[in-house]
Chains A and B, each alone.
Chain A
Amino acid sequence: MKKVLEGSKAIAEAVKLCRPQVISAYPITPQTHIVEALSRMVAEGQLKAEFINVESEFSAASVILGACAAGSRAYSTTTSQGLLLMVEVLFNLAGMRLPVVLTCTNRSVSAPINIWNDHQDVMTIRDAGLILLFAEDNQEAYDLHFVAYKVGESKEVSLPVVVNMDGFILTHAYEPIEILTQEQVDEFLPPFQPLKKLDPENPATFGMLADPGWYLETRISMQKAMENSKSVLKQVIGEFRQKFGRLAGDLLETYRMEQAKTAFVAMGSMVGTLKDMVDEERDKGNPVGLVKVRSFRPFPEEELREVLGSAEKILVLEKAFSLGLGGILYHELRSALYGLPLSPQISGYVLGLGGRDIPKKSLSKILEDFNKTTPALNFVDAKENILKEHLYV
């Protein structure tokens, strides 16, 4: 059944269907509509869950940590400064292998303060041991929440999962969403069966001190869990597709990559715009294709080598970068493709920061200019006059 829903409302509906027992969150734009919708559901008795209104994101993350350790399915959502305030707890959740799910409604980070979309917030936690999934549109964001719980909670993985969706662009957009019924979700997602939990009948200790003789192995086991999560993601996404007919691809989704000589690589909502561009280029006879990275962690290295192995030119478009280095996806992709026999040209483009528009015109220009240069770090639509007249450089 299709329903026209605001992105945030759709996420709240998905979360409700996952039957979390404990929800804790702290309001921050553009995530607020999700928590507001969830608290209404709890207040109306449509969702049986403990909704804990906390004094900060730091406590929100800590509350779901405690709830998950006690054996309950738990949920939170945040973005930007809120995600940064959670960072210490997020590392901890991963280290304790607690499979909570968070929605990150991606937003830039301060200073200067800016409430609009980019992906800089979540890049802060790329090394923390959380599975990071990116949605292109609200339907995918909706669907990925069911996948997130199932993958995170699987015994071979047992890691927290973050579903990323672009702030405002998706959270505040109304789109028709194909919704699932409770029966469908219950059949797809069984109740949470923790590997161990806090229980007086069987007292376990969580969060121990590991000295140099033990610590390394705990990190290796997390890396193994991340590696396992690749096949679990593939399997769970495959099952979802089979049951509900959605979610093309798995860790990656390819679009018109047949015989593509030029490929875009991107994540999140800009993929929609890029798909239109690819269609236009194909109509003109240009062999252009697109690779969407759905799973940024685990990073699909082999899968990228496979789908990009015969491309000659690759354009990596991203909404974040590492100050002092350059594009993050760009550098990770380059390293993934290192040593390929064809050795494609790869360029990195940083765009859409702090919510700046990404007009199709600018994307066409990138493609046009690509033959002249292959820049490692290119800021799309940067305004020279602002740089010269207003800022220290």
Chain B
Amino acid sequence: MFDKEMTEKNSVAPGHNACSGCGLVLAARLVLNAAGKDIIVTTATGCLEVTTTNYPHSAWRVPWIHSLFENSSAVASGIEAALKAQGKADKIKVISQGGDGATADIGMMCLSGMFERGHDILYVCYDNEAYMNTGIQRSSLTPFDASTSTTPFGKYSFGNPTNKKDMPAIAAAHHIPYIATASVAYPQDIEKKVKKALQIKGPKYLQLHAPCPLGWGFKTAYSIKIAKLAVQTGLYPLFEMENGVITSRKKLARVLPVEAYLKEQTRFKHLFVSEDGKKELERIQAMANENIKKFGLA
């Protein structure tokens, strides 16, 4: 879409240098466009920051700050406090952004602090399921059995040996008022969730699935297709939780087998070459089934 008026309204301007097909930058644009202009945005170190702020050019049409890898939420806390002190907290909303590594690994302490202190901030985790900026190393949101540069498959390895950390549950344990998952494949859903979150006072957590063609190994034109398959197989359940209660979930008209999603990506291709791989696929299918049951997706 190269409509000039449209691009000029984007809070993330074109001209960044993310890879083609990047789910992350697309997701960020959808989030910020939904949020409007009266916002201040913080961003952790990672692909989103590196690809958008090559000095002296910036793709951000909203006030934006990057400090470090692990403190996006704490910097946002300070901004929110300053806005309160200045009497502007009702007018200007604070959005804190980070990748899955920045959120679930190195920035966990700061994020827990932000939740627990009750700051009026929307935190958005762009989940591309590995440390992409430094070359596709695993994070604690990398899915089970994904081959990454630090959990490569090999004679003694099926890839990442651990399950994806349940970040929404960790956020929920802080009793924050709003938690949601979303996917770049469903733009209207993102818009709806962001707008709703910004109406709610207090800390909000939104985790957004954002495929990475380079890191996951698929054609750049397939980002949306892949993202959709993650949802349709039950591997990435989309839901909202308000005050501790699940209030919406994306129902699946037809549940697809996990192979439909996994076989499209190089990071899982080693699961399709041996008998042992079949057993691994069964384990992954069991995880999807568990999600479908837990969230009532079918």
Give the B-binding residues of A (Cβ under 8 A).
Answer: 21-22, 24, 48-50, 52-56, 58-59, 62-72, 74, 88-89, 92, 96, 198-200, 202-211, 214
Contacts and interface: CB of A to CB of B under 8 A. Distances in A.
Contact of A71 (B62, B80, B82): B82
A54 B55 contact: no
A69 B80 CA distance: 11
Given A59-B110, A89-B71, A211-B54, A21 B78 contact: no
B221 interface: no
B18 interface: no
Contacts of B61: 203
Nearest to A48: B85
Interface of B: 37-40, 42, 49-50, 53-56, 58, 60-68, 70-71, 74-86, 92, 109-110, 112-113, 116-117
Nearest to B92: A200
A62 B82 contact: no
B66 A206 contact: yes
A53 B78 CA distance: 11
A89 B67 contact: yes
Nearest to A196: B63
Contacts of B78: 22, 24, 52, 62-70, 74
Contacts of A202: 63
Given A58-B71, A59-B110, A72-B85, A209 B53 contact: yes
Minimum-distance CB pairs A-B, first 9: A66-B78, A62-B74, A63-B78, A207-B66, A70-B82, A21-B85, A72-B82, A66-B75, A205-B58
Nearest to A60: B74
Nearest to B81: A50
27 contacts: A21-B82, A24-B81, A50-B84, A54-B74, A55-B110, A59-B71, A59-B74, A62-B75, A63-B74, A65-B78, A66-B75, A66-B76, A66-B80, A71-B86, A96-B67, A198-B65, A199-B40, A200-B37, A200-B63, A202-B63, A203-B63, A205-B53, A205-B58, A208-B55, A209-B50, A209-B54, A211-B55
Contacts, number: 159
B67 A207 contact: yes
Given A63-B75, A209-B54, A69 B85 contact: no
Contacts of A211: 54-55
Contacts of B70: 58
Q: Which of B54, B85, B92 has the most CB of A within 10 A?
A: B85
Given A50-B84, A72-B86, A206-B64, A198 B109 contact: no
A256 B53 CA distance: 54
B40 A88 contact: no
A70 B67 contact: no
A208 B63 contact: no
Contacts of A64: 78
A27 B82 CA distance: 22
B54 A22 contact: no
Contacts of B76: 66
Contacts of A55: 109-110, 112-113, 116
A21 B80 CA distance: 12
Contacts of A59: 71, 74, 77, 109-110, 113
A65 B77 CA distance: 10
